[in-house]
Structure 1
Amino acid sequence: PCPCGYFGDARGRCRCTPDQVLRYRQRLSGPLLDRIDLQIEVPAVPAEVLQQAADGEPSTLVRERVSAAHERQMQRQGKTNSRLGGKEIDAFCQPQPAAAALLRQAISRLDLSARAFHRLLKVARTIADIECSDTIEAQHVAEAIQYRRFAKD
């Protein structure tokens, strides 16, 4: 996220100026960033937390949900959401009205390109598939938007 690699570090190790961070981030072109579907910040985890037992769900349950979502995609369109083209996105990734309104807001406020718009739709479709939803709802779009926020900050 910055030249030294410690931007946002809780221990304050980053000494980069805002101008240095901005120049560093501008080295990545917008078209390149548009091709990255998930852009999130993952903070460092303290050693004492790493040594504790995990609170999350078991990997087997996550794997089952992902496999079921993959199967839904294959049955619906014969390929995964990530491989959908423009016309296929129009056919298989139509959001509900509230979700479409949220997408319009995101495009306007975050200054998203057409490519980013299509990628958001595919990620929202995948989130809906993981939740076994036949429709793309506003909460799916909101989650997809959250996964693209890091690079715009």
Structure 2
Amino acid sequence: MSVKPIPEGYHSITPYLGIQQAAEAIEFYKKAFNATEVMRLTMPDGNIGHAELRIGDSAIMLGTPCDQGPLSNPQQAVSIGLHLYVTDVDQSFQQALDAGAQSVSEVKDQFYGDRSGTLIDPFGHLWFLATHKEDLSEEQIRQRAMEMFNQG
């Protein structure tokens, strides 16, 4: 049996977050997004060298940034947002707020068929939470977008 180039249970892209307070972030993601911890490699200095979590059917990896690595904290500017589809966006959004996230934009129905809201976690990462409500063609999305833009 040959080794698969993409391991079982992974998708082609897996976000890897650099978080100074990685251990605290793991606990937050468990509370906010029902993450399960797959593994954690704690370094002798107590920092997290590598950790992997599962949220739904997807993995995220994270670790404490070090001087030798390319990861840094997002404190100065957010450069990535994580999009998380959930069964009930209203409930999940509130759960994340209760766990310590801050609302960037409240949950609302979107022109492209999702109901979504945006949060920032206590570690500076942006999360787009959504529940897909309506299957639309690209043309329908474009038409709704134009109607929305023409209203404002």
The alignment's TM-score, normalised by the length of structure 1, stands at: 0.22
The structure with higher relative contact order (CA 8 Å, sep 6+) is 1
Higher strand proportion: 2
Q: What's the TM-score once normalised by structure 2's chain length?
A: 0.22
